[in-house]
């Protein structure tokens, strides 16, 4: 019996994770997130974009965000990485109370190798990628350093 391709053991894959914060010490939340990501098992943080301040999305009255994109190389599976990201968010004080609400830390899987997933709580590539010009800039910045 053959296993499904998304369940097969693969080598390390390049994963792009977006970091955002608009509550508390925003720069410290991003720094702590980078440190936590770099310490995940079977994972290395191999590149990061500049940090950029952006207006909040969703039309809610809230402080501006600091955003950054990082590139990881990981052997973790997408769902395991999602769980790890949510744990990191919680440790930084993230409380999920409202969509588009202010947060101490937001971590989103933007791309995961060449994978495509469409599950109720995990869509890869991230469906908002084409709509977030700051993500596109940050990805381009990382890509320019990788050449």
38-95 tens-digit pLDDT: 999 999 999 999 999 998 877 677 899 999 999 999 999 999 999 999 999 888 776 6
- The residues that are catalytic are 94, 103, 106, 108
**What distance in Å separates the CA atoms of residue 23 and residue 7, rounded to the nearest whole number?**
37
Q: Name the residue with tokens 């744990």.
A: 87
Structural tokens at position 123: 């869509």
The DSSP call for residue 135 is H
What pLDDT was estimated at residue 137? 96
Q: What is the mean pLDDT of the chain?
A: 88
What pLDDT was estimated at residue 74? 97
What pLDDT was estimated at residue 57? 79
User: Which burial class, exposed, middle or buried, applies to 24 when counting CB atoms under 10 A from its CB (0-12, 13-18, 19+)?
Assistant: middle
* pLDDT for residue 147 is more than 70: no
* pLDDT for residue 19 is more than 90: yes
* pLDDT for residue 30 is more than 80: yes
Q: Are 135 and 18 in contact (CB under 8 A)?
A: yes
Q: What is the pTM of this model?
A: 0.88
**What distance in Å separates the CA atoms of residue 103 and residue 95, rounded to the nearest whole number?**
7
């Amino acid at each position: 019996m053959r296993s499904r391709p998304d369940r097969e053991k693969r080598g390390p894959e390049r994963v792009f994770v977006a970091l955002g914060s608009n509550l508390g010490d925003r720069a410290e939340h991003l720094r702590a997130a980078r440190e936590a990501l770099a310490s995940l098992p079977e994972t290395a943080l191999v590149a990061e974009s500049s940090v950029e301040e952006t207006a909040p999305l969703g039309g809610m009255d809230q402080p501006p965000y600091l955003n950054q994109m990082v590139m990881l190389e990981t052997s973790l599976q997408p769902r395991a990485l999602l769980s790890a990201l949510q744990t990191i968010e919680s440790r930084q004080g993230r409380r999920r109370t409202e969509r588009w609400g202010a947060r101490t830390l937001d971590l989103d899987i933007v791309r995961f190798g060449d994978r495509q997933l469409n599950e109720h709580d995990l869509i890869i590539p991230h469906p908002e990628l084409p709509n977030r010009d700051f993500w596109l800039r940050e990805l381009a910045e990382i890509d320019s350093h990788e050449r």
